[in-house]
Amino acid sequence: MVTDFLGTDGDAYFERNKHVQIVDHTSFNDPVMALLPEHVFKKAGDVKAMLDFGGANGWRGEFLRQQFGCDVAVLERSFLARSAGQQQYPELLFTNTLSAFLTAILSLFFK
């Protein structure tokens, strides 16, 4: 089955999976985060900005923002996921196109 994540399939995916979004960012067992080596988290003061490609509503980006104290930009095609994220995590920068995402990143790095 071919899906259309540039169309409405991203919204459908978000709706099907939003029940697994993390709310408490102080501690959780996330297999993706487990892939990051522990020494990465010791660099908290050195990280200025992060990019989150396909970040859904930004729950993982928010965890990283809290851990590193840096700006986070989220590229997400799903309108529903971006809308939920903008309400839940207003400190994150959400966009849906690569050009807007690159503009946002440049603004984070050169502010």
**Residue 90: its pLDDT value, please?**
96
> What is d(CA 42, CA 87) in angstroms, rounded to the nearest whole number?
30
**Residue 74: its pLDDT value, please?**
92
CATH of the domain at 100: 3.40.50.150
Residues in the chain: 111
* Structural domain contains residue 104: yes
Domains held by the chain: number: 1
**Residue 92: its pLDDT value, please?**
95
**Residue 1: its pLDDT value, please?**
45
**pTM of full prediction above 0.85:** no
Q: What's the domain range around 74?
A: 9-109
**Residue 23: its pLDDT value, please?**
57
**Residue 44: its pLDDT value, please?**
64
* Structural domain contains residue 67: yes
**Ramachandran quadrant class, 46 (left: phi over 0; alpha: psi -120 to 50; beta: rest):** alpha
* Structural domain contains residue 4: no
Q: Residue-wise pLDDT tens for the chain (111 aa)?
A: 445 445 567 788 788 877 766 555 555 567 777 777 666 666 667 778 888 888 889 988 998 888 888 889 999 989 999 999 999 999 999 988 878 777 877 777 676
* Structural domain contains residue 90: yes
* Structural domain contains residue 72: yes
* Structural domain contains residue 38: yes
Contact at 8 Å (CB) between 104 and 97?
A: no
